Structure 1
């Protein structure tokens, strides 16, 4: 295993936002990957956030919808008394019922402001460093959403604005209202569709790229080989790429990653993360973990160097990956596919 370096700080976008070269995705500490609400689990999650900081990883990613709400509360506990040492980003864009059920998308100006105020309270801070629109709401013109975000910047409640999985056209519309500092996208060895249009658009406009799920939701680490490796409450069980048939085919990808890791004396996770780092200095991956050993391993990926031959060996084609990244209900709605409702 490569030793964990201290991560450098890098610019994200062109408006002055500076973050660690790798961030920490906090979602799985509270939501999606099984139940993690025990006192013991929360204690380790808090320790992970502290350890990340010790390694120079100060860029924390959360969202209102994670829980909902509980992940922001956890992050708020972790940064209490150390606010100035962290760059905190969170996301808005969903309509959430009083019972915690997600009732669809909502980026109306009123909901943008409500979400911002509520996130500030849960996080225990007076300004959000980076506030993303989580998914594009096709019932609200993105210009209206951006005007409200611009007002929140002017009021000092947020510093920088981000988008997640918006179309190239929406990126341009939004950026014309107020500069976008960061765009969050799923980007990994087995998810590369954004490279066709989204990545070039962001680079043309000077927008930083934040890669979520850079470890393929854990699959590229080689630790998930069958459905039974996922707990009953794990949302990945309902994802096409984690069906038994898809996992069997996708093991070939992990085998390639593992072979390179063996040659370099590092872990498969470090190779998969290093591949994302090698996509450019404007790319900041945010692998998520709730385990101390994995946060050290993930940061260590920054020191792993891949040759041109390694990168070629890891160049999977679209036909090499089995299964869509989200279920049919999400893909049909456009909620999780770069704003394209035809997908």
Structure 2
């Protein structure tokens, strides 16, 4: 595939070359707010002004929105600089979406309540498609919230090409967010999600561009994962799969060494090569800064990576089976 151009604007607002995913700042690790805002500030100051938050990233009383309220209370001048995306209408405790009109409105109203006027919601996404609610019904509810001024626009998350077309026919989305990395490439199948978004001129966002840390180069053996790390439950980190997947990660690391950058920067550059805005996360300032230091692949480097992908199989699904019901719907 030839190089494509990533989106430079979402919902009519300019965005930097790399976004910032907030999940790990509140979902794991019990990071205090005063520490959690440091990588946010570093990301923004290094050009990552599209922030991806979620009501499901933590408990109802301690999630992305609470961290954002803390941040914008401290840095009110940054509110106009940030393009804020919020994923919601999803119960993280039992992993079920509620994309009924009532469920969506309740989720948006709660997010606005927590933000307390400090920051508007530029983009709201139902985190997953609700199988109990026709997608057209959900989109009409989101469109009504746009008309009321409660959200600036809406996006789609973890959807397939058919759902994108159905939603677009009701009210065009401002963006589509899907998982995309060198390890997770289903988005790029011919006639699939990426092709559909290009046809309909919908910006495409790629979450987990580092595949939950696989593409940072930090994992060599299973012992590199703490015993209580959630990723030990993920298929690609299981014994047998791990040993195979580390071979591809090492090839990417070799490309990075020759280029004089990090594996993470190569992985992010590859997502950008596909014409997609990557959304890496970080809990440390130096990682946020590293991710924002954009490198560009040459044609030869892109070909080298493609050759490796053609030769090597990634072993294991991208999520455990319990999550599959709501993926790519």
Corresponding position: 1:257 with 2:243: no
Aligned to 2:3: none
- The answer to whether the 8 Å contact 1:26/1:62 transfers is yes
- The answer to whether the 8 Å contact 2:85/2:123 transfers is yes
- The answer to whether the 8 Å contact 1:186/1:212 transfers is yes
TM superposition score normalised by structure 1:
0.87
RMSD value, Cα: 1.9
Paired with 2:258 and 2:21, the residues of 1 have a C-alpha distance of 28
Aligned to 2:109: 117
- The answer to whether the 8 Å contact 1:17/1:160 transfers is no
Paired with 2:225 and 2:167, the residues of 1 have a C-alpha distance of 38
- The answer to whether the 8 Å contact 1:17/1:181 transfers is no
Aligned to 1:213: 208
- The answer to whether the 8 Å contact 1:93/1:136 transfers is no
Secondary structure of the corresponding residue to residue 211 of structure 2: coil
The CA deviation string for residues 254-286 of structure 1, in whole angstroms up to 9 with x for no partner, is 111111111111111111111111112xx2111
Secondary structure of the corresponding residue to residue 314 of structure 1: helix
Count of residues in Structure 1 that have an aligned counterpart in Structure 2: 314
Q: CA deviation at 1:173?
A: 1.2
Corresponding position: 1:305 with 2:296: yes
- The answer to whether the 8 Å contact 2:253/2:263 transfers is yes
Paired with 2:7 and 2:135, the residues of 1 have a C-alpha distance of 31
Select which of 218, 222, 225 maps to 1:223. 218
1:133–1:318 Cα change, 3 Å: farther
Aligned to 1:3: none
Secondary structure of the corresponding residue to residue 206 of structure 2: strand
Q: Which stretches in structure 2 are left out of the alignment for 5+ residues?
A: 1-5
Corresponding position: 1:49 with 2:55: no
Q: CA deviation at 1:206?
A: 0.8
TM superposition score normalised by structure 2:
0.90
Paired with 1:74 and 1:198, the residues of 2 have a C-alpha distance of 32
Secondary structure of the corresponding residue to residue 90 of structure 1: strand
Q: Which stretches in structure 1 are left out of the alignment for 5+ residues?
A: 1-7
Paired with 1:50 and 1:25, the residues of 2 have a C-alpha distance of 13
Secondary structure of the corresponding residue to residue 202 of structure 1: helix
- The answer to whether the 8 Å contact 1:128/1:159 transfers is yes
